[in-house]
C-alpha cells in the first residue's frame, strides 16, 4: 500500500510593484502554477484559503508590510437582498443569461475594450489585445464558464463574467459590462444573479476576489449581506472583523516560509493493491 502523500506545488513570490489599490504602497504576490494531476483539488483547496486564479496560476497577496487585501466571499445562506438590490434585479429582468464553455468571442472583446477604456484606462489590463483576452478566457485547466447577459430581443451583449465552478461555490474570476448603463448597476446585478445560480446548484458560496480596506474601488462588496473575509487563517463574517477592527491594513504579513508552511494542501487518494 502506498501512503497518502500531499500534492507539493512550488510556491514563488513576485517582485514588489506599485499597489493598484492603495497609494504609496507596494504589492507582492505569492503564487503557484496550476498544472499536472489534481488541479481541481488544488484549486478548490487554495481558493478556500484566500487564493485566486488567473489563467494557469493561483495567487494570493503577500505584501511585506500590509495585509489590506482580504479574500471575500458571500455566504449564500446568510444573504438577503436589500431594497436597492431588489430594484437592481427588477431593472435588469429583461436580460437573458447564457452560460457557455470558456470561449472568447469578438463581441466579448469589444465590450471588454469599451469597459476598460471607460472605467480602467490606466489599469494593468488597459493594453490587453484580443489574443491576451482570449488567453484570459480560454486558458483554464479547471471547470470554468463564461456567463453572458444579453438583451433577448436585440441579442445585444451587455455583461460578461468568467466564472469558475468550485466544489463549494462559484468564483467570479473577472467581470465586465456596458459602462454606458450606470443606472442599471450591472456589476451588482451579476453578483446577485450568481448568488441565484449558486442557490439553484446547492453551492454555499460566491467568491468575489479581494476586498481592500481604504480602496473606494472595493467598497461595493460590503453592500452584500453574508459577506465573509479570509483573515487569520479562517473565514470570518465581515461584521465580526469590522467590530474587532482586525481589518487594519497596518498588520504585517508573516514571512514567506511561514505562509507556505501554513498552506493546507489537498491529499492524493490512497492506492490500494488489488
The pLDDT value given to residue 226: 96
Cβ-based burial of 147 (10 A; exposed 0-12, middle 13-18, buried ≥19): buried
Whether residue 157 is found in the same domain as residue 168: yes
User: Is 105 within a domain?
Assistant: yes
Number of domains in the chain: 2
The pLDDT value given to residue 111: 97
Check if the beta carbon of residue 204 is closer than 8 Å to that of residue 194: no
The pLDDT value given to residue 247: 54
Whether residue 227 is found in the same domain as residue 137: yes
Whether residue 50 is found in the same domain as residue 86: no
User: Is 3 within a domain?
Assistant: no
β-pair partners for 58? 32, 53
DSSP H helices, the chain, are: 39-47, 83-91, 106-119, 130-138, 186-201, 238-244, 256-261
Whether residue 63 is found in the same domain as residue 83: no
Q: In terms of C-beta distances under 8 Å and separation of at least 24 residues, what long-range contacts does 232-236 make, across chains too?
A: 233/49, 233/262, 235/73
The pLDDT value given to residue 54: 94
The pLDDT value given to residue 1: 39
The pLDDT value given to residue 123: 66
Whether residue 50 is found in the same domain as residue 85: no
Whether residue 169 is found in the same domain as residue 234: yes
Coil, strand, or helix at residue 199? Answer: helix
The pLDDT value given to residue 175: 96
Considering just the CA atoms, what is the radius of gyration of the chain in Å? 19
Whether residue 129 is found in the same domain as residue 193: yes
Q: Which domain, by its residues, includes 28?
A: 11-70+250-261
Whether residue 175 is found in the same domain as residue 204: yes
Whether residue 50 is found in the same domain as residue 121: no
The pLDDT value given to residue 76: 98
Whether residue 233 is found in the same domain as residue 254: no
User: Is 35 within a domain?
Assistant: yes
Whether residue 173 is found in the same domain as residue 85: yes
The torsion region of residue 27 among left (phi > 0), alpha (psi -120 to 50) and beta comes to: beta
Whether residue 106 is found in the same domain as residue 173: yes
User: Is 172 within a domain?
Assistant: yes
pLDDT lower than 50: segments of the chain:
1-6, 249-252, 270-271
User: Is 218 within a domain?
Assistant: yes
**Whole-angstrom Cα distance, residue 53 to residue 62?**
15
Amino acid at each position: 500500500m502506498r501512503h497518502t502523500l500531499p500534492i507539493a506545488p512550488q510556491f514563488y513570490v513576485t517582485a514588489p510593484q506599485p499597489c493598484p489599490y492603495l497609494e504609496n504602497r507596494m504589492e507582492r504576490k505569492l503564487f503557484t502554477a496550476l498544472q499536472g494531476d489534481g488541479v481541481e483539488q488544488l484549486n478548490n483547496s487554495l481558493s478556500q484559503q484566500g487564493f485566486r486564479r488567473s489563467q494557469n496560476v493561483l495567487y494570493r497577496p503577500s505584501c511585506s508590510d500590509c495585509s489590506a487585501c482580504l479574500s471575500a466571499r458571500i455566504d449564500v445562506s446568510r444573504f438577503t437582498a436589500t431594497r436597492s438590490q431588489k430594484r437592481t434585479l427588477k431593472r435588469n429582468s429583461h436580460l437573458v443569461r447564457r452560460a457557455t464553455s470558456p470561449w472568447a468571442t469578438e463581441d466579448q472583446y469589444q465590450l471588454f475594450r469599451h469597459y476598460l477604456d471607460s472605467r480602467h484606462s490606466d489599469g494593468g489590463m488597459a493594453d490587453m489585445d484580443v489574443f491576451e483576452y482570449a488567453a484570459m478566457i480560454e486558458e483554464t485547466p479547471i471547470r470554468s464558464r463564461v456567463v453572458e447577459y444579453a438583451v433577448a430581443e436585440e441579442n445585444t451583449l451587455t455583461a460578461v463574467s468568467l466564472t469558475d465552478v468550485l466544489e463549494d461555490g462559484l468564483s467570479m474570476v473577472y467581470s465586465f459590462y456596458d459602462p454606458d448603463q450606470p443606472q442599471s448597476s450591472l456589476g451588482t446585478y451579476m453578483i446577485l444573479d450568481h448568488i441565484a445560480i449558486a442557490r439553484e446548484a446547492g453551492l454555499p458560496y460566491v467568491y468575489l476576489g479581494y476586498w481592500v480596506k481604504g480602496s473606494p474601488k472595493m467598497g461595493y462588496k460590503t453592500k452584500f449581506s453574508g459577506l465573509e473575509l479570509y483573515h487569520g487563517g479562517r473565514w470570518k463574517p465581515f461584521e465580526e472583523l469590522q467590530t474587532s477592527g482586525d481589518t487594519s491594513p497596518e498588520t504585517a504579513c508573516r514571512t514567506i516560509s511561514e505562509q507556505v508552511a501554513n498552506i493546507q494542501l489537498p491529499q492524493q487518494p490512497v492506492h490500494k493493491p488489488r
